Structure 1
Amino acid sequence: MAYVRKDVSTLTRTERRRFVNALLELKRRGEYDEFVRLHIDYYTSDGEAGLRTAHMAPSFLPWHRRFVLDLERALRRVDSSVTMPYWNWTRDRTTTSVPWTNDLLGGNGRRSDRQVMTGPFAYSAGHWTIKEGITDGRFLTRDLGRPASPLELPTRSQLQWALDDPVYDVRPWDSTVPRGFRNKLEGWGSGSGSASLRNHNRVHRWVGGVMLGGASVNDPVFWLHHTFLDLQWYRWQRAHSSHRYLPAEPPGLGDPQHERIVARHQKLPPWDVTPDGLEDMSRIYRYA
């Protein structure tokens, strides 16, 4: 029977505590850091050679769907009552709203070094030392809203702009495409600076700190953010039921994207699964 993923703002006090405790237990066991390493390994951009699966590619959504599901399964092995909540950043938009509370993810980083000082994931609490990263930092950092150069979270209308596009993705299947649901949601735009960052990308920039790079998984908000994105893919699938993941077939010889992206029926590294096999999750979970 499918279990339910809930809006984090609707969790009871007990549900919040059990979710946090399960995350802390995975960290204590060393399992959590394996997820951080995996994301760093697959954080590949357009300009790099070889296969792109996690970012700047059609498989952005199925890759993260499986990634979140694997973490959720690990949490449920610790506590079977836990499911992955999502953060609706179109509604909970301030630096003090959910999930930035002391009983969930803690708050913003302090001004001097962006170190998070509150909540269960603060370095000073003794349970959340960063061991896998792209810098030598040992503590969780955030710069919510980027006060030095203020940035707003994406709005409901900006998210709807992505959802309204009936085509999943278009050639050349990378960060430059101006059409297609996938990149409108992933958020690579034209131009430079924060104005070019939309939806998913803009949220990473708004949170700041460790959420800015390949080691973004070190902030537990990563999971709440990507669960909300997974919900958007689910919503898009329901709204455009005659449209599916693209490309259906791999780009041929001579195509710049030959062997650089994953087509619908190709295996999605590092798992033995295809995007086709990840399109329907209804037997595993549903959204409240």
Structure 2
Amino acid sequence: MSWWFKQDEIHKVTHVHVGPEFLPWHREIVNRLEEMLRSVNPKLSLHYWDWTQDPRAIPNANLGDGRRGTLNLFTSDFMGYGGPTQQEIGEPWLNAGFYVPSASPNRETSDNPADPPRLVTRAVGPASAPSHASEDQDEDIVSQANYFAMRTRLQAVHNAMHGFVAMGRQHISFRDPFVFLLHSNVDRLFALWQTQRGHPERLDPNYVYGPDSNDPGLNSNIEPWSTGHSFDSFGIEHFARPWYMPENMGMPRNYKHPSIVQPPMYDSNIPPDSFTSPPAAVSWGPDRLDIFALGSRSQMRHRAWHVNGEWFPKDDWEDLSGEFTSPPTVVSWGPERLDIFALGLGKDMYHKAWHVNGEWYPSLGTWEPLGGQFTTPPTAVSWGPDRLDIFALGTRNEMRHRAWHVNGEWFPKDDWEDLSGEFTSPPTVVSWGPERLDIFALGLGKDMYHKAWHVNGEWYPSLGTWEPLGGQFTTPPTAVSWGPDRLDIFALGTRNEMRHRAWHVNGEWFPKDDWEDLSGEFTSPPTVVSWGPERLDIFALGLGKDMYHKAWHVSGEWYPSLGTWEPLGA
């Protein structure tokens, strides 16, 4: 007996056509046929017919070899006959033995599933059911709030589509291979309903069936694959091998088994919202954290840790809308204040702020456009209340700048300040006090450049020039300040060793004319932090992707030493 003929027997001996079991039972038979196809060729997948399209003329379809056009599924090399009157399905199924007109015995007379049927017929778009389903019907199915409402609508459209593609009578439709394209679409819509965002319960076996959950059928074995012993919807008893004796290959499971509840990976599934950018985190006070990252639709997502000891939102991430092409940059200049910056689809800058009044500005669902066009993500810093400075490279790789003033306005008002230069790395910016900014970036020769904003209200060396700091580097700079008039800059040199230079309170760079060699050989840019005056901690990944650490102590020495690093393992 062929495995294809077995599908008709399985359908007949169970005949699950009504009730809450209808969707998960047909999911199982669809999944199992795909498993059998993949036992022949692991690259095969069972496709579906999107019943909102006429299967005789699917527009803009993938025709193979990079071609697109109108596709007819009913041809002699795919699904066979597709006319409006009931006729035999023909090739390719006739020569493949899916039915044998001269068969004796045959399934129609012997009722033996091992015997081939004499005929398999279909009609597509007959006068009795001339129309395929609509997108509105699909949307109505997927928008239902619970399983009962969803399944009743889905089964109604399913029934209508069995009329549009009429595959003989209800009890013999599984003799027609097209039935699996129809039922794959039924399962696809079930899966799409399950994966709607904000409904994790639809993936939970204990809750997916909602008001139907206590139905005796859902809590009984799914047959014939559990034991092979079943009663069809007419009450007739059946015994199906190999799940029944003598093979006893059944594996008892009910309709709440995770393998049945878990939706297959259809291309229309809505994935759980994952992240597509690294996180950005900031704290505006004790026991407060705010984390931001881009979601799977490139929208901004946010979650906060509150002083009450809970995450908000409690079980998900807040959707701050937007569509971005850069990771977020976040800064806080005081309690209850957050400012987020990111590049939009046109590489222009957008901004959103959280105010002390407990609201997002401009609103939860909108962003303030700041214009410009940039080639690097933004870098933002604040040197005091009501002050923000944002930097990014423009289209000529020049440094661009815009500031928010205490007077409540952006400067420049309608554009971005051109700080000149031509750079190959994003800027790194640090502030060690009010009215002080220090910007670092790599030039065309991978050497370091610096510009500062002074308390006297001027750029140093000037608006149009930069201070060359020499060196040659393979990573963007990392800068930190542990107090007024103190800067420490780190980057990897040409041998991937750690390099360092510091600005002292005495008004000089150290080393004076070069960069201090902190040794090591690294595969990641450095991360540096300071928790107090005369304290620096540097971290980077070594050749084996293991972590290394070096610290500067108040004693005026490097730990473990200038030439060694503390291994922190992998």
SS of structure 2 residue aligned to 1:76: helix
* Equivalent residues of 1:110, 1:116 under 8 A apart: no
Q: Shift of residue 133 of structure 1?
A: 5.5
Correspondence for 1:57: 19
The equivalent position to 1:107 in structure 2, one of 77, 81, 95, is 81
Aligned 1:79-98 pairs, distance under 5 A:
79-94=41-56, 97-98=71-72
Read off the aligned partner of 2:209 and give its amino acid letter. Answer: Y
Aligned 1:188-267 pairs, distance under 5 A:
199-210=157-168, 212-239=169-196, 240-243=199-202, 244-246=208-210, 247-250=212-215, 259=216, 261-263=217-219, 266-267=220-221
Q: Shift of residue 242 of structure 1?
A: 3.5
TM-score (norm. length: structure 1): 0.65
Q: Deviations over 1:154-197 (max 9, x none)?
A: 1111122111111101xxxxxxxxxx11111011xxxxxxxxxx
Q: In 2, Cα distance between the equivalents of 1:38 and 1:60?
A: 14
Q: Shift of residue 237 of structure 1?
A: 0.6
Q: Deviations over 1:52-90 (max 9, x none)?
A: xx2111011110111111111112122222111111111
* Equivalent residues of 2:56, 2:73 under 8 A apart: no
The equivalent position to 2:8 in structure 1, one of 29, 36, 39, is 36
Q: Shift of residue 241 of structure 1?
A: 3.4
Determine whether 1:183 maps to 2:152: yes
Determine whether 1:165 maps to 2:138: no
SS of structure 1 residue aligned to 2:76: coil
Correspondence for 1:145: 125
Q: Shift of residue 126 of structure 1?
A: 5.0
Q: In 1, Cα distance between the equivalents of 2:84 and 2:137?
A: 30
Read off the aligned partner of 2:10 and give its amino acid letter. Answer: L
By relative contact order (CA 8 Å, sep 6+), the higher-ranking structure is 1
Q: In 1, Cα distance between the equivalents of 2:89 and 2:178?
A: 13
Q: In 2, Cα distance between the equivalents of 1:262 and 1:248?
A: 7
Q: Higher Cα Rg: structure 1 or 2? A: 2
Q: In 2, Cα distance between the equivalents of 1:86 and 1:221?
A: 9
* Equivalent residues of 1:37, 1:132 under 8 A apart: no
* Equivalent residues of 1:168, 1:182 under 8 A apart: yes
Read off the aligned partner of 1:181 and give its amino acid letter. Answer: M
CA change 1:230–1:126 in 2 (3 A) is closer
Q: In 2, Cα distance between the equivalents of 1:224 and 1:213?
A: 16
Q: In 2, Cα distance between the equivalents of 1:205 and 1:95?
A: 18
Correspondence for 2:281: none
Alignment: residue pair count: 209
Q: Shift of residue 143 of structure 1?
A: 1.2
Q: Provide structure 1 residue ranges, at least 5 long, that are not aligned to the other structure.
A: 1-28, 44-53, 170-179, 188-198, 251-258
* Equivalent residues of 2:54, 2:132 under 8 A apart: no
Determine whether 1:75 maps to 2:37: yes
SS of structure 2 residue aligned to 1:216: helix
The equivalent position to 1:276 in structure 2, one of 245, 250, 256, is 256
- Greater fraction helix: 1
* Equivalent residues of 1:62, 1:275 under 8 A apart: yes
CA change 1:72–1:206 in 2 (3 A) is same
* Equivalent residues of 2:123, 2:167 under 8 A apart: yes
Q: In 2, Cα distance between the equivalents of 1:77 and 1:132?
A: 27
* Equivalent residues of 2:129, 2:163 under 8 A apart: no
Q: Shift of residue 262 of structure 1?
A: 2.2
Q: In 2, Cα distance between the equivalents of 1:75 and 1:249?
A: 35
Identical residues among aligned pairs (%) = 24
Q: In 1, Cα distance between the equivalents of 2:11 and 2:57?
A: 26
TM-score (norm. length: structure 2): 0.34
Q: Shift of residue 142 of structure 1?
A: 1.0
Q: In 2, Cα distance between the equivalents of 1:181 and 1:150?
A: 23
Read off the aligned partner of 2:190 and give its amino acid letter. Answer: W
Q: In 2, Cα distance between the equivalents of 1:104 and 1:182?
A: 30
Q: Shift of residue 234 of structure 1?
A: 0.8
* Equivalent residues of 1:75, 1:82 under 8 A apart: yes
- Greater fraction strand: 2
Correspondence for 2:415: none
Q: Shift of residue 226 of structure 1?
A: 0.8
Q: In 2, Cα distance between the equivalents of 1:137 and 1:114?
A: 14
CA change 1:287–1:58 in 2 (3 A) is same
CA change 1:237–1:126 in 2 (3 A) is closer
Q: In 2, Cα distance between the equivalents of 1:225 and 1:78?
A: 22
Q: Shift of residue 95 of structure 1?
A: 6.7
Which stretches of structure 1, 4 residues or longer, exceed 3 Å deviation after superposition? 92-98, 130-137, 240-243
Q: In 1, Cα distance between the equivalents of 2:142 and 2:18?
A: 18
